[in-house]
Amino acid sequence: MSRRPDPANLRQQAFLRAAAVLWQFAPDALQPDSDDRSAAGEVASLLPFVVRIRTAGGDRWTLRDTLRPELLRGADTSELARLRARNPTTDSREQQRVDRWLAGPDAELAAYDCEALAILSRILTWFDPVPPHFPSIDRLDRLRALARVREPLLELAGRGIRGRTHELGQLHGFVAGTPGAGAPAILVVHGIGGVGKSTLTAQFLLDVLASGDPSHLVAYLDFDHPTLDVNDGLTLMFEILRQGATQLPEHACLRDLVRRASQATVDLSAGRGRAPGRALAVRASMAELAASCGQAFKAAGAAKLTLVLDTLEEPQYANPDHQRQLGEQLGIFHAHLPGLHTIVISRAPLALPGAQQLELTDLDDAAARQFLGDHGVRDEAVVRSALQAARGNPFSLKLATRALESSAAEPPLEVTDRGDGAARRPVGDHGVHDDALVRTAEPSNVDRHAALEHALVHGQLYQRILAHVHEAEIRQLAHPGLVVRRVTAPLLQHVLAEPCGLGMIDADRADELFAGLAREVALVRVADVGALEHRADVRRVMLRLMYRDRPAIARRIHEQAADYHRDRHDDVAIVEEAYHRLALGETFGPWLVRLTQAAAQRLVTALDELPEAAWPIVATCAGIELSPERRQAVQTAALERDLAQQARELLRGDHAESALALLERTRPSGGSSVLWRWRGRALRGVGRLAEALVALERSLAALAGPAVEAREDLALALALAGALGDTDSLARLEPGRSPGAAAARGSAGSPRAAGAYPGSVRPTPDEPMTRAPSPAQWLDDQDLRAVLEAAIDHAEPEADAEPRDAALDGSVAAAPRSTRAASAYAKAVTLNRRVVDNDKYKDTGPDLFDWVDALSKSHRDLDAIRGSLKSRLSPK
Amino acid sequence: MPYAPPQEVDAFVGFLVSFPLIDQAFLDSWFSTFAPSYRSTLEDLPAVLPRLRAAFTRFNTDPPFDGGAIPLVIALEFLVTNQASSVIVDRAKQLLSHIKISEPGQEPTVPVVFKELRLTGAGLFADRDSLRDKLIRMSGDDGPPAVIINGARDVGKTYTRKLVAHVSQKTLAFRFAWVEIEQEQAATYTADWLIEELVRSAVPGAEGIPARREPVKRWLGDLATWAIKQLATLGSDRPLWMVIDGIRHPGLPREVCAVVERLASVVATPTGVLPLRLVLIDCDPVDILRTGCMAEEESVGHLTVKDAEGFLQKVLDPITFPARWPGVQAILAATAAPTTTDVCAAMRSALA
């Protein structure tokens, strides 16, 4: 509803002239082309002549383009500069581009991206006639079309790639080669999400485009885009044609073909296709279009076409028949398109006829270091830390650098004197500290590394892997269900469903979920009839992240899976039971007796997933030699166990300082080191609670170890997390307890299942071979009231009674008196949560839970807590 | 007839008057868009507030198409189309969405109203029989899920939105969300801008739009999902029509087109959560069709002398038409190739 300005209104004209050279302006900041400054509200008279533009700084106005030619007619560069000087402070990225072209041509035009070209296109409309230094509309159109081809590739390539020289060479070699007669040239590039498949291929295509060879066309098709359908080859063919025509803009035959194909598409959708059925019409049209396209490409001088099909897991998920259909489509393409070489990018390997395979794995150490260096990460300690956490996965490295950047930008770690001598970690810190970092304990390093770990869990695990899972329930199954290597519908029903938060399910539901999981080709592959195997490359990345994120549930699944397979006697069950037992740190038992050499050999590829203590067992049973590196690691683990034994004795004698001094002399060898457990307990003993929590979480994430000790670790970690107010830790340790955290992670774990701590852990050789009670038994066997009352008693600063809960005693007794209140309070929280899960207390539980939960924000008035709790527990 | 509740109107007026940019100049501009007959009732603009309140109050009680309803709708449309600020636009759209012309289930029906020539608050809508037919079919269960309207500049494509709004408001057969990308906005437009404006036109104050993230294609999916989730809060008892205008501007970032394609893809795959329809004004049909959304394209041209004649015959009585038609012919004969703008101006002269 724009009107024309009034030429007689000189004041309005002055505002309009000033606005005519501005890309946008803040309404209250615009100054007119006059020496009389703008008065308040005066600019409102421009309302009919402006359009609103949204910017990061809020709404801005921009003058309607149709008004500008008249306002700028006859203005030379000096006049334009004079007008511009009326509002010198108005600046933006777009305005800089405007200023550049108001002054004259820009030699960098050919390198403009889509955004810059769009800005220039708009500026062009401001003038009539257009000044001679502006490019013609035709040239702008051509530049824009080429930029559109480059744009997605530049986005993917980012700052370029590091390493991958060999892989890039393979791509060039593949495209340079001549396909055999009748055999289409297809290369499948596969690898886990984030390993850099698309980046590598985009860089390759950019290299091809940069070579400037007009006879070599490229086409990049991303199946994540809704316009592409593997079942509808016409959609693929049309996009190939469109991108090819864009690269050869001077050839009218291609433009004409695009126009005709567009019209045919519209006609077909309107039921004006020549064939009676749509599928038939599409098929016929596709072959026809491919033939026409091939002829047009040849006529335009194109001798080679490199076609990249990205994100093929999407059609693989949506269409079980994708492989055959893709094969058909490619067959037609290769029959018609000149010099076609197809590169297919997929998370899962894809067996297309005659296709070569290129598996992309992690970057090597040098390339990963270069990558980090490109992002400004050069400090050796930080580099090592990042490499240890992210390994060589480029996406993980990118997440790591971002986390490091953001943690560097944040204020230093808040060190609050809580009276417990511990540095307070920021809320939300998921940190499991790097061994070296814990030793130096520099707050900034600790903070930085914690941010790094947090970023990896949430970026790599949740966004890159789990976010690609299509259904919420399957996502729940994947995390932490990927703890098992092999899934069947019965195993899904009896082992995974409940820990994964799906509750009790029947066989039919298990079949449905199994079918849903089978479609997630990026996660699983079909092992044999009725069985799926989680992809090893995905597990390699996910396992360690899952252990950090869901240690208690991961452990529980291992235990239940081991028990499930124990009662079965086929080869698979024997191997899988052994796998789960070994993962839990068990080194002997009836399962070992039935582990044959053939069965053990099937565990060799899983050594990296198992603790060091398992390696010699597997090697001996499988009849293989461990590598020198592994032998060294086994020896180190044995030494650490000795050291841990010494620390344990010191702690039993209440010599926490000495135990810590002993442990700090030896750096834990890795994530699964047994030293984390004792480091955590020693740190707690000297009152360094935040660091103790970190170490205990690390210990839990390693999974291996006696059940009793693991249970104690969990109880202690929960108590510490409660005392420190670390809600993230609480949610991680007892997922499902925190609705917010569960929702954020796509997990709706059953509180009952998620909160129950395992009881069926097979102890290690130095522990008696007993079976721990189930969670329900555990609660039933104890006098809950007494436990709760004890917890409250310990909440009193003056309390000196011995704690009655063996599992939690350390959290109170070993802490300095001043910290007992906080620890005991956390204990009450923990106990209360157990109450909620127990049917026996179902009437008072939720009420009690609410009560304690409300108090979790502040535990200043412990007397009130005590009184209230005791009154609630007293017999009515 | 139930219209917008008086307290909402009062609150809106109070809000406008309290807004820093709502000064005399703004009100002058605003009132200049009112019909002369209505404007003449506003004798003294400095005393505008009481009169404004009076006008809005009258709007609540008068029957459709008379008195205050049209001025209010015009006023709100003016606010929206002039886009003085996001806040005002949101509030104006909110109030517009509350305007009810008739109750659900009552006559007139969708096909009847789609054929009407007078639109609520937006004047007249001439010709376009083929377009009207397509929209009527889209309102049925078996119709296409989307209609794409293309044509040369200034032929009147954007006016379709007002026709859709009119039918939505008058029949309550479907809900209506819309967004228009103007040429000046195109170069710096963003996908979240589009989605937010679209959603907020129907769900004012909708919050929590997903922040940009990598990879962008995933973020676009997030945006589409968020939009559907927000729009579904309105209820699934009626379909929701989304009108998106201006996707073909040169220089519009690819991500904006891509998010529209995502919406088209959602429209094409009914989930049962919310029945959706899509009206795309100025859009490449191939991009939409390739999403699997079986849209129908309507190409509109400039209104012609013949269109003007047919239209005036319908809206003027049998005595007036023969008297005024020669004047219209004379105006149009002076133009070699009359455009829609020319034809509309000539028709307005006959209706004045």
Say yes or no: A224 contacts chain B, CB-CB below 8 A.
yes
- What is the predicted pLDDT for the residue at A772? 28
DSSP structural state of residue A363? P
Sign of CA dihedral A520, A521, A527, A528: positive
B225 or B45, higher pLDDT: B225
The listed range with the strongest mean pLDDT (A70-74, A278-282, A467-471, B92-96) is A70-74
- What is the predicted pLDDT for the residue at A13? 93
Mean predicted confidence (pLDDT) in A642-652 = 84
Per residue in A542-554, pLDDT (tens digit) is 777 777 777 778 8
Of the candidates A334, A345, A10, A428, the one whose C-alpha atom is nearest the C-alpha of residue A153 is: A345
Neighbours of A135 (CB within 10 A): 21
Report the percentage of chain A scoring pLDDT > 90: 14
Mean predicted confidence (pLDDT) in B212-222 = 82
Residue A527: which H helix or E strand, with range? strand A524-528
**B197 contact partners, CB below 8 Å, separation of at least 6:** B89, B179
| Residues of B in Cβ contact (< 8 Å) with A463 | 213, 218
Cα→Cα distances A745→A463, A479, A732, A741, Å: 10, 10, 11, 6
C-beta separation of A436 from A386 below 8 A: no
Rg (CA), chain A: 33
Give B53 to chain A, closest Cα distance, Å: 22
Of the candidates B158, B67, B84, B80, the one whose C-alpha atom is nearest the C-alpha of residue B120 is: B67
pTM: 0.59
Distance of alpha carbon B220 from alpha carbon B223, whole angstroms: 5
Per DSSP bridges, beta strands A486-488 and A531-534 are antiparallel
User: Chain-centre distance of CA B168, in angstroms?
Assistant: 10
Distance of alpha carbon A560 from alpha carbon A568, whole angstroms: 13
Question: Taking CA A687 as the corner, what is the angle to CA A698 and CA A807, rounded to the nearest 5 degrees?
Answer: 65
- What is the predicted pLDDT for the residue at A503? 82
Cβ of B285 and A222 within 8 Å?
A: no
**A672 contact partners, CB below 8 Å, separation of at least 6:** A611, A612, A702, A703, A704
- What is the predicted pLDDT for the residue at B48? 45
Per DSSP bridges, beta strands A304-310 and B276-281 are unpaired
Cα→Cα distances A125→A64, A73, B184, Å: 11, 12, 10
Mean predicted confidence (pLDDT) in A383-389 = 74
Indicate the angle between helix axes A233-247 and A278-299, nearest 10 degrees.
Answer: 20
Q: Which of B247, B290, B296, B297 to mutate: most A Cβ within 10 Å?
A: B290
B206 or A767, higher pLDDT: B206
The complex's ipTM works out to 0.70
Indicate the angle between helix axes A862-873 and A817-837, nearest 10 degrees.
Answer: 30
C-beta separation of A119 from A97 below 8 A: yes
A808 or A658, higher pLDDT: A658
- Name the token pair of A836: 């909620």
Walk across the sheet containing A524-528 and list its strands. A486-488, A531-534, A524-528
Q: Which of A12, A45, A47, A285 to mutate: most B Cβ within 10 Å?
A: A47
Q: Which residue of B has its CA nearest to A42?
A: B25
* A167 has pLDDT over 70: yes
* B66 has pLDDT over 50: no
Q: Based on the number of CB atoms within 10 Å of its own CB, is A8 exposed (0-12), middle (13-18) or buried (19 or more)?
A: exposed
Per residue in B184-200, pLDDT (tens digit) is 999 999 999 999 989 98
- What is the predicted pLDDT for the residue at A460? 59
Cβ of A47 and B33 within 8 Å?
A: no
Give B339 to chain A, closest Cα distance, Å: 17
* A37 has pLDDT over 70: yes
Mean predicted confidence (pLDDT) in A313-337 = 76
φ/ψ of A190, rounded to 5, equals -130, 160
φ/ψ of A756, rounded to 5, equals -70, 130
Cβ of B193 and A54 within 8 Å?
A: yes
Give A118 to chain B, closest Cα distance, Å: 4
Mean predicted confidence (pLDDT) in A155-164 = 78
Distance of alpha carbon A469 from alpha carbon A474, whole angstroms: 7
Lowest mean pLDDT among A224-233, A350-359, B159-168, B276-285: A224-233
Length of chain A: 876
Q: Based on the number of CB atoms within 10 Å of its own CB, is B232 exposed (0-12), middle (13-18) or buried (19 or more)?
A: middle
Name the β-bridge partners of A55.
A58
Of the pLDDT bands very low, low, confident and very high (cuts 50, 70, 90), residue A142 is confident
Mean predicted confidence (pLDDT) in A507-526 = 82
| Residues of A in Cβ contact (< 8 Å) with B222 | none
Mean predicted confidence (pLDDT) in A91-110 = 91
Lowest mean pLDDT among A732-746, B172-186, B198-212, B220-234: A732-746
B235-252 burial: b if 16+ Cβ within 10 Å, else e: eeebbbbbbbbbbbbbbb
- Name the token pair of B270: 């009914």
DSSP structural state of residue A25? B
Lowest mean pLDDT among A9-23, A44-58, B147-161: A44-58
- What is the predicted pLDDT for the residue at B337? 86
* A668 has pLDDT over 60: yes
Give A527 to chain B, closest Cα distance, Å: 30
Q: Mean pLDDT score of chain B, rounded to an integer?
A: 74
Per residue in A392-409, pLDDT (tens digit) is 777 777 777 766 665 554
* A632 has pLDDT over 60: yes
Neighbours of A616 (CB within 10 A): 16
Residue pointed to by tokens 């990879």: B215
Report the percentage of chain B scoring pLDDT > 90: 16
Sign of CA dihedral A29, A30, A34, A36: negative
Of the candidates A549, A570, A585, the one whose C-alpha atom is nearest the C-alpha of residue A486 is: A570
- What is the predicted pLDDT for the residue at A457? 62
The one-letter code for the residue type at B287 is: D
Q: Which residue of B has its CA nearest to A62?
A: B184
Of the pLDDT bands very low, low, confident and very high (cuts 50, 70, 90), residue B103 is very low
Sign of CA dihedral A463, A467, A468, A473: positive
A391 or A261, higher pLDDT: A261
Per DSSP bridges, beta strands B123-124 and B118-119 are antiparallel
Distance of alpha carbon A690 from alpha carbon A717, whole angstroms: 10
Of the pLDDT bands very low, low, confident and very high (cuts 50, 70, 90), residue A601 is confident
Lowest mean pLDDT among A123-137, A486-500, A825-839: A825-839
Cβ of A122 and B182 within 8 Å?
A: no
- What is the predicted pLDDT for the residue at B82? 52
3-state secondary structure A401-460: HHHHHHHHHCCCCCCCCCCCCCCCCCCCCCCCCCHHHHHHCCHHHHHHHHHHHHHHHHHH
| Residues of A in Cβ contact (< 8 Å) with B193 | 54
B56 or A817, higher pLDDT: B56
Lowest mean pLDDT among A217-231, A650-664, A736-750: A736-750
C-beta separation of A671 from A543 below 8 A: no
